Amino acid sequence: MGDLSPAQIQQILVGVFILVVSVALHEFGHAWMAVRLGDDTPRRQGRVTLNPLAHADPIGTLLLPVVGGYYAASSGVAGGFGWGKPVEWQPHKIRRGIRMSTANILVSFAGPFMNLVLATIVVGVHSVLVWKGVITLDSKASLFLYQATATNFILFFFNLLPLPPLDGGHIAGAFVPYRHRNQWDQIARFAPFAILAVMLIPQVAQVFRVPAMWCTKGLYGAFGVIPL
């Protein structure tokens, strides 16, 4: 990172911190929902916690965000993707009376939903701090909170793309009729290539970045705060 300024290095570290916390909450959501539905596997594996270390993946939570942040800081192109350690759960352990497809939808959606909740909380706190005059809209604290909000909306929309193994892929698969499962499985084989395209091609990434930024600005507007 020798060619980066101290401000750019700080930007990378802040982005990684935000991503680590956001991913931890995301994975916690999956684990919490699975336990609520009757499967104690996530609890036995220590995943029903907000401790980021329990959900961190060495590559997806640390290495990739740092590399992506470096690329973003040095090129000016948005970067910094990441993921956490997948939560393991056993559908056959779900309480009787709950359909497996319903459980799959609930557990899958719980992760992105936690990112939505965190984004809303951050905007609420940010708005109160601005209203009370604790911070200004052009302060570093405001930039940090705005970045945290945008990151969580990006995680929300990215993970809901209907591409396995993303959460949206699991949700979409739960709606596929049994007679069409083979066709879905054949299509799903190519999903990782589509995910790579979404991550690496800026024009394709707009499919989730545009709604994420629209929701970020819209939520701030709803709270009566227009960030700079």
Instruction: Clarify whether 27 is annotated catalytic.
Output: yes
Q: How far apart are CA 142 and CA 148, in angstroms?
A: 10
Predicted confidence pLDDT, tens digits, the chain (228 residues): 557 788 888 888 888 899 999 999 999 999 999 999 999 999 999 999 999 999 998 888 888 788 877 776 665 555 556 788 999 999 989 999 999 999 999 999 999 999 999 999 999 999 999 999 999 999 999 999 999 999 999 999 999 999 999 999 999 999 999 899 899 999 889 999 999 898 888 889 899 999 999 999 999 999 988 766
Check if the beta carbon of residue 50 is closer than 8 Å to that of residue 103. no
> Token pair for residue 209?
């970045």
Q: What's the predicted TM-score (pTM) here?
A: 0.92
Which of 11, 27, 48, 216 is labelled catalytic?
Answer: 27
Output Rg (C-alpha) for the chain, integer angstroms: 19
Could you give the angle at the alpha carbon of 153 between the alpha carbons of 34 and 141, nearest 5°? 115
